[in-house]
Amino acid sequence: MSSLSLEFLKSELKSHNLELIDKTDGREGLDFLIGNNQIYLQPLDLDTVTQSIKIAKQDLGELNDNLFIALVLIIEQQPRVVYLIPSKELQDSNNNFFVNNEVSLMPSLSNWEIKISSKSIEEFEKYALNNVIDAAILHSD
């Protein structure tokens, strides 16, 4: 995980009077809290050929209302955008950018895939930090 992405996320949250707190216990990957919400930080470098990321289901754990993926897009080697995706949205099979990769023979290889493309970037706007906070999806109490 990029410390640059972490610092960028903290500064973006601070501009909305939200604080990212280091979580001292819990599963690997779920290292942060905003209020009572767990945050899984996931940088995605769009300068590379691959414009998707895979998150192991065992790392993310059970999807719930208080679990968010903080997807930090890195463009030209700098973090530029933060999307806060409610984890339950990963189950939405009505789109082409959240993919459930189930590996029945080896469940430890099962993952959630998030694909970014020029077509999906517009739909991702609803997960932009401003929109998630404005929609009161993210509660810091």
Q: What is the pLDDT of residues 59-68, one digit of tens each?
A: 898 999 999 9
pLDDT recorded at residue 132: 85
Residue 67, pLDDT score: 92
Does residue 60 come out as left (phi exceeding 0), alpha (psi in the -120 to 50 range) or beta? alpha
pLDDT score recorded for residue 9: 93
Average pLDDT over residues 58-83: 92
Which pLDDT score is estimated for 5?
Answer: 92
Q: Which fold has domain 3-134?
A: Trna Endonuclease; Chain: A, domain 1 (3.40.1350)
Q: Which pLDDT score is estimated for 7?
A: 93
For range 134-138, the mean pLDDT? 62
Contact 84, 74 (CB under 8 A): no
Which tens digit of pLDDT belongs to each residue from 2-51?
689 999 999 999 998 888 888 776 555 677 888 888 899 999 988 876 78
Burial class (CB in 10 A: 0-12, 13-18, 19+), 85: buried
What pTM, to 2 d.p., does this model score?
0.86
**Dihedral over alpha carbons 99, 79, 123, 92 (to 10 degrees):** 30
Taken in order 79, 81, 48, 43, the sign of the CA dihedral is: positive
pLDDT given for residue 140 in this prediction: 52
Q: Does position 1 have pLDDT exceeding 60, yes or no?
A: no
